[in-house]
Amino acid sequence: MPSPNPATPPLSSPNQTAVILDALADGVFTVDAEWRITSFNRAAEELTGVPRDEALGHRCSDVFRGSACENACPIRRALADDAPVIGTPVYVIGREGQRLPVSVSAAALKDDAGQVVGGVETFRDLRQVEELRKRLESGYRFEDLVSRNREMQQLFELLPTIAASDSTVLIHGDSGTGKELVARAIHNLGPRREGPFVALNCGALPDSLLESELFGYKKGAFTDARADKPGRFALAEKGTLLLDEVADVSQAMQMRLLRVLQERQYEPLGATHSVQADVRVIAASNRDLESLVQQGEFRRDLFYRINVIQLNLPMLRDRKEDIPLLVDHFVSRYNHLQGKDVAGVSEQALELLMDHDYPGNIRELENIVERAFILCSSGLIGPEHLPEGLRPHGADDGTDAGGAGRRGGATLRDLEKQAIAAALERHSGSRKEAAAELGIHKSTFFRKLKAYGIEAPLHGDRS
């Protein structure tokens, strides 16, 4: 057996290690006990735009300036837990100041005696994944509305046609379902988009104030009327006026609204002549107006006048497939508003969010995310950042004795299985159409059917 060539360096030599690291597609760097970078591979240079010689010897936080550097450093976590950190999504700041999404893994480096001498971190470029996610999400967006729910998608298709007309629209939906967002979308898509959009919550004001808010008043109309004040109809001239919670308007005020809608004119308080109203009216209510008509609480003629086109918004508990999309939407919004780098929500936190019934609908979900931003400055939103009522009893980490992330017996797997079964039922067993509705590739959808043991009848070319 020939003796080894003494000129060949051992595999553990620094030179060989550098060659191996430079061959990796993922960025890799190591730090010493003082957090100074001791190695920096080619992929790390390419991703960050920082040359190796500028990174070596500098503290890693100065080089990366990432979302996790201050409060959730992966290497620091690996040292604290004495266990590797795997696949944590964070952002790093590139040389030109751009935010770069990456997936980070980290571990401690120890000497032969088991003493910690530094750490190693790898990071994978997620820009293509992020772009794909944005492209996928764009297919479920309409103005500021976000949904993959079939009923909402059908509404998205109708909105441009509805917006093109000048007919009165009635939007029905529970509080927090997004009635004002739909009204704004109709305004923005229509010929009045250059005009103002004005909203008024009719249920929040007594008749005496509501009348002056809607129609305005003239100087001297009453004791404190020291100057003319335009009403909401005047402010919305050549634009759109949203009358929210119109069901709460008194019978007397209903009569005045009917006159405006029929004759397109109104009289400000104290005025001696009528004013023309060039305004598109959109009404909204969280109560069933047709039932109120039957009970004599709402004028039938006004109901028919505002119910030219009716749109019904489902409650969030009936469109739970939208929760991940909405959470991503709100995370992006609050990152922008608050200048933070929260990467998203953990799987355990998402399971808790999916399991909640949301009596406050989308508004409640947004409030939950906003609250989480107060407690979470970077990294992932976890169960500990959610309101106590959403967490399993007696736990604050999203787990219980029944298994990780369970609450009330439901998991993401359970909810996904239910969503797939419901989609198949809506499409009469068509796997292709169900997969398209859920935004899942056909082959992935078939694998999930098999994994969940869901039987779907075949329908010829509709399979």
Residue 111: CB atoms within 10 A of its CB come to 9
Does 26 score more than 80 pLDDT? yes
Whose CA is closest to 258, among 207, 309, 300?
A: 300
Distance CA 290, CA 302 (A): 11
> What pLDDT does 130 receive?
61
Q: Are 10 and 102 in contact (CB under 8 A)?
A: no
Q: How far is CA 306 from the centre of its chain?
A: 31
> What pLDDT does 462 receive?
45
Triad 361, 362, 363: Cα angle to 5°:
95
Q: Which of 89-93, 251-255, 376-380, 386-390 has the lowest mean pLDDT?
A: 89-93
Q: What is the pLDDT of residues 210-230, one digit of tens each?
A: 988 999 887 766 667 677 888
Give phi and psi for 280, each to the nearest 5: -90, 130
Distance CA 120, CA 118 (A): 7
Does 237 score more than 50 pLDDT? yes
> What pLDDT does 159 receive?
92
Q: Are 285 and 245 in contact (CB under 8 A)?
A: yes
- Global pTM? 0.60
Does 257 score more than 90 pLDDT? yes
> What pLDDT does 134 receive?
55
Q: Which domains does the chain have, with CATH numbers?
A: 14-126 (3.30.450.20), 139-314 (3.40.50.300), 317-410 (1.10.8.60), 413-462 (1.10.10.60)
Most confident by average pLDDT, 113-127, 254-268, 339-353: 254-268
> What pLDDT does 66 receive?
60
Both tokens of 418, joined, read 């239910």
What one-letter code names the amino acid at 456?
A
Q: What is the mean pLDDT of residues 193-218?
A: 88
Higher pLDDT, 31 or 71: 31
User: DSSP states of 159-224 as a string?
Assistant: HHHHHHS---EEEE--TTS-HHHHHHHHHHHSTTTTS-EEEEEGGGS-HHHHHHHHH-B-TTSSTT
Distance CA 60, CA 124 (A): 17
Q: What is the pLDDT of residues 55-98, one digit of tens each?
A: 898 888 887 766 556 566 888 888 887 888 887 777 777 666 66
> What pLDDT does 133 receive?
55
> What pLDDT does 141 receive?
60
Distance CA 358, CA 93 (A): 36
Triad 248, 253, 254: Cα angle to 5°:
75
Q: By three-state DSSP, how is residue 444 classified?
A: helix
User: DSSP states of 210-229 as a string?
Assistant: HHHHHH-B-TTSSTT--S-B
Does 397 score more than 80 pLDDT? no
Q: What is the pLDDT of residues 400-411, one digit of tens each?
A: 433 334 433 345
The maximal CA–CA distance of the chain, rounded, in angstroms, is 115
Would you place residue 284 in the very low, low, confident or very high pLDDT band (cuts 50, 70, 90)? very high
Average pLDDT across the chain, whole number: 81
Give phi and psi for 383, each to the nearest 5: -55, -30
If you compute the radius of gyration of the chain from its CA atoms, what whole number of angstroms results?
30
Q: By three-state DSSP, how is residue 53 classified?
A: helix
Q: What is the pLDDT of residues 138-190, one digit of tens each?
A: 556 666 788 888 899 899 889 999 999 999 999 999 999 999 999 999 999 99
Q: What are the CA-CA distances from residue 303 to residues 165, 205, 351 (Å)? A: 19, 21, 42
Higher pLDDT, 277 or 98: 277
Q: Are 319 and 177 in contact (CB under 8 A)?
A: no
Q: Judging by DSSP bridges, how do beta strands 141-142 and 116-125 pair with one another?
A: unpaired
User: Is residue 93 exposed (0-12), middle (13-18) or buried (19+ Cβ within 10 Å)?
Assistant: middle
Q: What is the mean pLDDT of residues 381-405?
A: 63
> What pLDDT does 427 receive?
81
Q: By three-state DSSP, how is residue 266 classified?
A: strand
Give phi and psi for 145, each to the nearest 5: -90, 140
> What pLDDT does 407 receive?
39
> What pLDDT does 364 receive?
95
Q: Which of 43-52, 359-368, 397-406 has the lowest mean pLDDT?
A: 397-406
Does 338 score more than 80 pLDDT? yes
Q: Are 225 and 219 in contact (CB under 8 A)?
A: yes
Does 333 score more than 50 pLDDT? yes
Does 11 score more than 70 pLDDT? no
Q: What is the mean pLDDT of residues 23-32?
A: 87
Does 10 score more than 80 pLDDT? no
Distance CA 39, CA 32 (A): 10
> What pLDDT does 76 receive?
83
Would you place residue 131 in the very low, low, confident or very high pLDDT band (cuts 50, 70, 90)? low
Whose CA is closest to 60, among 19, 106, 22?
A: 106
Most confident by average pLDDT, 26-30, 142-146, 237-241, 416-420: 237-241
Tokens 């019904």 map to which residue? Answer: 312
Distance CA 398, CA 406 (A): 7
Whose CA is closest to 378, among 81, 70, 133?
A: 70
Q: What is the mean pLDDT of residues 251-280?
A: 89
User: DSSP states of 8-40 as a string?
Assistant: SPPTTSHHHHHHHHHT-SSEEEEEETTSBEEEE
> What pLDDT does 415 receive?
66
> What pLDDT does 191 receive?
93
Tokens 């947004």 map to which residue? Answer: 366
Q: Which of 36-40, 306-310, 441-445 has the lowest mean pLDDT?
A: 441-445
Q: What is the pLDDT of residues 414-447, one digit of tens each?
A: 667 777 887 888 888 888 888 777 767 677 777 7
